[in-house]
A and B are shown apart, each in its own frame.
Chain A
Amino acid sequence: MTDLFDTRRIPDDPAHWDSLAARVASGVHRGGFLRFAATPAAWAAALLLVTAAGLLVLAARGSDRPDIGRELAQALAPADYPGGSLVGTDGAPAVGELLLDAGLRGGDR
């Protein structure tokens, strides 16, 4: 059988019970969100949100990383002006620029 204890440490006067009852009743009404916040479900939801936020931050930072491909292309680019000017640009340089620049540099034929 479950052991039972005596209650001599419990005060037994109306003032004590009035005070305890007021505390208990206000605690029940104050609960609501606070009660939910203390539940395992709330902690799990908070953990998921933090994890999702962390993943979003990492994803955003990833887009700021240098374009490795572009850096490699630059490193491997031809040394001559026309070839070098073609690397790293989305479109071909204007022909006029190439001829003008080649003239100034005494470029390769």
Chain B
Amino acid sequence: MGNDDRGDAELLAAGARGDAEAFGVLVRRHIRSATLLAAQLLGDRDDAEDVVQDAFTVVYDGVDRFDSARPFAPWLFGIVRRLAENRRARAARRLRLLRRWGKGTVAEPEPVHVEAGLLAGADMDLVRRTVMTLSPMQRACFELVTVRDLSPAEVGAMHGIAEATVRQHVFRARQALRQVLNPEGDGND
């Protein structure tokens, strides 16, 4: 990624003028967050990478629609969310058709569950049951902040929610898991 000090808007404008290197820097700067977001929405690595490719294509083609006075990342993440939702809707329609016609085995994507390494030694069944009591967004925020080490601000931009909401989700998730890992704990966060 290098140490490019240019802002996102500047990089995007340069890329639109044909500066491939500038656009590459912009992509590299946001590829991780965009891909993790798409992966959380789709549950599949290949689908996530396809959506990210499409999202940056939309960004490139739609540079005139970007308000340079506003931050770039939320705009990008909104495009990712929209494209991912479209793909999910198409997949859901295919799933309904497959079920209706009973063709083959339809594999469901696995739902969220917490990184096993974090909870080594714990009763995993209990942990899973605890995790499943959390809302999908609580689980997602917890994973991105605690496991992937993203900032609450960035996670908020990714999912289109306030940073404070992200912090709250993470806190609740940690609290629930702490009760499982350390039921006799001292209550410190």
The A18-53 residues at the B interface (CB cut-off 8 A) are 18, 20-25, 27-29, 31, 35
A5 adjacent to B41 (CB under 8 Å)? yes
CB of A19 to closest CB in B, whole Å: 10
User: Given that A5-B112, A7-B148, A17-B31 are known contacts, is A24 also in contact with B40, CB under 8 Å in the complex?
Assistant: no
Residue pairs across A and B with CB atoms within 8 Å: the count is: 98
Find B60's partner among A9, A10, A21, A28 (CB 8 Å cutoff). A28
Question: How far, in whole Å, are A7 and B40 apart by their CA atoms in the complex?
Answer: 6
Q: Is B43 an interface residue (CB 8 A)?
A: yes
CB neighbours of B44 from chain A (8 A):
9
A2 adjacent to B36 (CB under 8 Å)? no
Question: How far, in whole Å, are A17 and B48 apart by their CA atoms in the complex?
Answer: 13
Stretch of B21-29, B67-75, B96-104, B176-184 lying at the A interface: B21-29
Find B136's partner among A1, A8, A10, A18 (CB 8 Å cutoff). A1
Count class of interface residues, chain A: 20 to 34
Find A27's partner among B42, B45, B57, B109 (CB 8 Å cutoff). B57
CB of A76 to closest CB in B, whole Å: 64
CB neighbours of A35 from chain B (8 A):
57, 61
Find A25's partner among B27, B32, B35 (CB 8 Å cutoff). B27
Count class of interface residues, chain B: 35 or more
A21 adjacent to B112 (CB under 8 Å)? no
B28 adjacent to A5 (CB under 8 Å)? no
Q: Is B111 an interface residue (CB 8 A)?
A: yes
A3 adjacent to B45 (CB under 8 Å)? no
CB neighbours of A7 from chain B (8 A):
36, 39-40, 143-144, 147-148
CB neighbours of B32 from chain A (8 A):
12, 17
B23 adjacent to A25 (CB under 8 Å)? yes
B136 adjacent to A6 (CB under 8 Å)? no
The chain A residues found within 8 Å of chain B, CB to CB, are 1-10, 12, 17-18, 20-25, 27-29, 31, 35
Question: Can you identify 28 A-B contacts, CB atoms within 8 angstroms?
Answer: A1-B135, A4-B136, A4-B137, A5-B42, A6-B110, A6-B111, A6-B115, A6-B139, A7-B36, A7-B40, A7-B143, A7-B144, A9-B39, A9-B44, A10-B35, A10-B48, A18-B28, A21-B1, A21-B28, A24-B31, A24-B53, A24-B56, A25-B23, A25-B28, A28-B57, A29-B20, A29-B23, A31-B60
